[in-house]
Amino acid sequence: MELVVGTLIAIINQSLLYWRMQQLKRKNIMDPKQVINLARVSLIERLMLVGILLVFAMQRFDPLSVILSFFIINVSLAFYKQCQLKP
């Protein structure tokens, strides 16, 4: 169960990042200040959400398993997205 919880938290984290990136593309924001501000907001949102979810998960399940599954899934999703971007 710990692996499932860590995986769900990682998927929520990546989904929120993807949603913010799509929002940036839809609004066609070209001003560097606005891009940086949106990146900061996204970082703070994801940090708080993931932090809260990880704390709750680690209180209920084995902390090491939750953290490891979260980390492994996040890294694998990041590599997968990078491989998709290459032509």
Residue pLDDT, tens place only, 51-85: 998 899 989 988 888 888 888 888 888 787 777 66
Q: Is the pLDDT of residue 49 over 70?
A: yes
What is the tally of structural domains in the chain?
Answer: 1
Helix, strand and coil in the chain, % to nearest 5: 90, 0, 10
Question: Domain span at residue 26?
Answer: 2-85
Instruction: Give CA separation, 9 vs 1, 21, 23, in Å.
Output: 13, 19, 21
Instruction: Give CA separation, 24 vs 20, 28, 34, in Å.
Output: 6, 6, 9
pLDDT given at position 34: 80
How many Å separate Cα 13 from the centre of its chain?
Answer: 2
Instruction: Check if the beta carbon of residue 14 is closer than 8 Å to that of residue 50.
Output: no
